[in-house]
Amino acid sequence: MRKPFVAGNWKLNTDSRSSVELAKSVAASLSGRVAGQISVAVIPPFVYLQSVVRAVSSSGVAVGAQDVYFEQKGAFTGEISPAMLKDVGCTYVLCGHSERRHVIGETDELVGRKLAASISGGLLPVLCVGELLEERDAGQTEQVVARHLRTGVSGLSAEKMSAVTIAYEPVWAIGTGRTATPQQAQEVHAFIRNWLAEAYDKTLAEEIRVLYGGSVKADNARALMQQQDVDGLLVGGASLKADEFVRIIEAAL
Ligand code: PEP
């Protein structure tokens, strides 16, 4: 049985006060209720990580970072290492979010290096994969997802792979209000699980959590979670309101 996992990606939002308020509010609403049943994480901007870690301490809510660099230290102005994230109390890190791939211009190869460095640094990476609308329309969804998987986890041993969560996030559904239907999500999630079984083995493929992301709201979360291969949700906009995010978590239980 895969434990459900719901993560809230705050992107370039909140400030020093509202990030702490949001984190405290999520932690207080969940306190004691979800322990052991579900993994929950909030993913604030880098500069608020430390205060958010303090705000959720001992609530069971984990904290993740939105990005990371693959080098440990040195002349890499503006970058943040896995060790730095670990040092401030991060558990998870997003690798290859579509906004980093398509807005910032990260390559598949860079995403793979970040993911490998995150695992070596003791973080649990969430590898984001997913197609553009034109790729879906051209019938290339599986091809794109397979490429993101292959390059994202390239060369990882099965042991290291067990630290990874996959998030299927069709780019056309992110921040657009246009969610994939539960059936569309299930089809790609099943494809991802088969890919994992072929690249590794069936047991590992059954253990790895595959999240769906793309305009998840409290009113569509349950139908998505009812799909056999949807193990959790990566939530953007709707994670910025504590009550909505908590309703999504409740729907995932
Ligand atoms: C995301 O940022 O990963 C995301 C899925 O955003 P939204 O829920 O706003 O579509």
C-alpha distances out from residue 212 to 7, 36, 46, 76, 77, Å: 10, 21, 23, 33, 33
Mean pLDDT of 74-79: 98
pLDDT digits (tens, 9 = 90+) for 163-221: 999 999 999 999 888 889 999 999 999 999 999 999 999 999 999 999 999 999 999 99
Is 189 marked active-site? no
Give the C-alpha separation, 244 to 105, whole Å.
31
The closest-lying atom of ligand 1 relative to the alpha carbon of residue 167 is 3
Mean pLDDT of 230-240: 98
Ligand 1, pocket-test mutation among 5, 166, 169, most atoms within 8 A of CB: 169
Residues within 6 Å of ligand 1 by CB: 9, 11, 169, 174-175, 213-216, 234-238
- pLDDT class of 33 with cuts at 50, 70, 90: confident
pLDDT digits (tens, 9 = 90+) for 103-159: 999 999 999 999 999 999 999 999 999 999 999 999 999 999 999 999 999 999 999
Return the residue whose CA atom lies nearest to atom 1 of ligand 1: 236
